[in-house]
Amino acid sequence: MPVVIAGLLSVAIIASLLPGPTVDVRTQALNDGGMSVGMSAELEQTFTTEWGGTESPDRFASDGITDNFAVSDGVLIGEIATESTFSMRATEVIAQSSDPVVATSAADGPIFLDDGTLELPAAIDIVVADGRDHVIIHVVARGETLAAIAKRYKISSMELIWSNGLQSAANPPVGKRLRVPDTRGIIVTVREHETLKSIASKYRVTPSSIRTYNKLKTADLVLGMILVLPGGRGAALPTYTTGGQTGYTGPIPSVYSGLKFRYPVPGGRFVRGLSRTHFGMDISQGSGSPTVAAADGVVVLTGWRNNCGGNQIVIAHGSNLYTGYYHLSGISVSTGQKVTRGTRIGRIGQTGCATGPHLHFSVSRGFPLARGSVFYDPARFLP
């Protein structure tokens, strides 16, 4: 009897040391038999997730190889080491996976995914064909005139002006890079919202001629594209009008350079400034002393006027800015002449309503005394 008892104890001890089924398997087996597990709620590991919930249903599932059991549809099929299929997450991933690639190799071109994006890295040709091959770049040399440059390339001066967005027919500065078309026509850069049809209408050419000359594959244009328009014509240059105050209708500067004005009477003495009844600055100097241009510009008026100013000169500087020079005894420039800052334009006098030799100097937005013009204090512009 003692031997039998000892043997039973040995079996019990050995059985207690052997690994038992997992908690989940025990729970399933007991539930199948209509029994409940009498264990603490803190230690109990059961599934509480419903389909569509946010909690992972396989949070207790083991990864890789099960402990000597293979499970299929919840049925034990043997004590062999096999890959577990108990994880519902793994099963779902396998079931939903698909081949998202449309192209199979780089030889087929860029590889696109199902959502329309490119598989990276991808080599994409972003060069847009346009008319750059028909454009010549000319750098203005010292002494070159606009007319001479146009004649060299067998185009008109206006075609050169239009192709470069110039605002006047004045000679370009040394070193300026000019775009020159290789045919009679103009060069344009595609701007926002412009189409092939709108460009053709604006410059009086046909859409087909633009496509043919620039070798465009489609009628679609890209912002910044360079096009050469054979036979194209731009708008006329801006002209100067003063409501009948002068007959000058030539080009004037479009933008003022922004440089400080030069004192218009070298060595002159300030006498009087701007006020409600005096629309400028009086500068005293001996009769016949030189008067110079305060800034670069184009002379738009010269000669005598019955406005108390006597002999006078008006210069346009761009940005609708004008300077006036009054009471002169002599005038050294002519209407339409381009002058630079410091150019001698006349001589001090006392013509018109003047009691002594001096220069009445004005600065205005708009032609002096024209409707809508405004006089500025000249001191704001002088050094």
pLDDT digits 0-9 by tens, 185-223 = 999 999 999 999 999 999 999 999 999 999 998 898 988
**Per-residue pLDDT at 353:** 84
Domain membership of residue 192 (yes or no) is yes
Helices within the chain (DSSP H only) = 2-17, 23-32, 88-96, 146-152, 157-164, 196-202, 207-214
Higher-scoring residue by pLDDT: 154, 88: 154
pLDDT digits over 161-194, tens only? 899 988 666 677 889 999 999 999 999 999 999 9
Could you tell me if 346 and 355 are in contact, meaning their C-beta atoms sit under 8 angstroms apart? Answer: no
Number of domains in the chain: 2
**Of 39-43, 118-122, 171-175, 237-241, the least confident:** 39-43
Domain membership of residue 63 (yes or no) is no
Choose the final residue of a domain: 182, 215, 230: 230
- Asked if residue 373 and residue 304 are part of one domain, the reply reads yes
> Over 60: is that where the pLDDT of 31 sits?
no
Per-residue pLDDT band at 69 (split at 50, 70, 90)? very low
- Asked if residue 280 and residue 184 are part of one domain, the reply reads no
> Over 90: is that where the pLDDT of 340 sits?
yes
Could you tell me if 348 and 288 are in contact, meaning their C-beta atoms sit under 8 angstroms apart? Answer: yes
Domain membership of residue 7 (yes or no) is no
Q: Give 160-226 as a 3 state SS string.
A: HHHHHCCCCCCCCCCCCEEEEECCCEEEEECCCCCCHHHHHHHCCCCHHHHHHHHCCCCCCCCCCCE
- Asked if residue 273 and residue 225 are part of one domain, the reply reads no
> Over 90: is that where the pLDDT of 82 sits?
no
**Of 168-177, 200-209, 306-315, 328-337, the least confident:** 168-177
CATH code of the domain in which 137 resides: 3.10.350.10
Domain membership of residue 347 (yes or no) is yes
- Asked if residue 376 and residue 297 are part of one domain, the reply reads yes
Per-residue pLDDT band at 306 (split at 50, 70, 90)? confident
pLDDT digits over 360-377, tens only? 999 999 998 787 889 999
Per-residue pLDDT band at 76 (split at 50, 70, 90)? very low
- Asked if residue 350 and residue 285 are part of one domain, the reply reads yes
> Could you give the 3-state DSSP secondary structure of residue 300?
strand
- Asked if residue 214 and residue 150 are part of one domain, the reply reads yes
- Asked if residue 355 and residue 297 are part of one domain, the reply reads yes
Domain membership of residue 183 (yes or no) is yes
Domain membership of residue 212 (yes or no) is yes
- Asked if residue 211 and residue 141 are part of one domain, the reply reads yes
- Asked if residue 276 and residue 364 are part of one domain, the reply reads yes
What's at 320, amino acid-wise?
Answer: N
- Asked if residue 353 and residue 274 are part of one domain, the reply reads yes
Choose the final residue of a domain: 230, 260, 281: 230
| Mean pLDDT of the residues in the chain | 76
Q: Work out the percent of the chain whose per-residue pLDDT is above 70.
A: 63
Choose the final residue of a domain: 178, 199, 230: 230
CATH code of the domain in which 323 resides: 2.70.70.10
> Over 50: is that where the pLDDT of 135 sits?
yes
> Could you give the 3-state DSSP secondary structure of residue 312?
strand
What is the maximum alpha-carbon separation in the chain? 153
> How far is 353 from 341, CA to CA, in rounded Å?
28
Higher-scoring residue by pLDDT: 108, 167: 167
Read off the pTM. Answer: 0.40
- Asked if residue 375 and residue 273 are part of one domain, the reply reads yes
The parent domain of residue 202 ranges over 132-230
Could you tell me if 308 and 352 are in contact, meaning their C-beta atoms sit under 8 angstroms apart? Answer: yes
Domain membership of residue 366 (yes or no) is yes
Domain membership of residue 95 (yes or no) is no
pLDDT digits over 91-101, tens only? 444 444 444 44
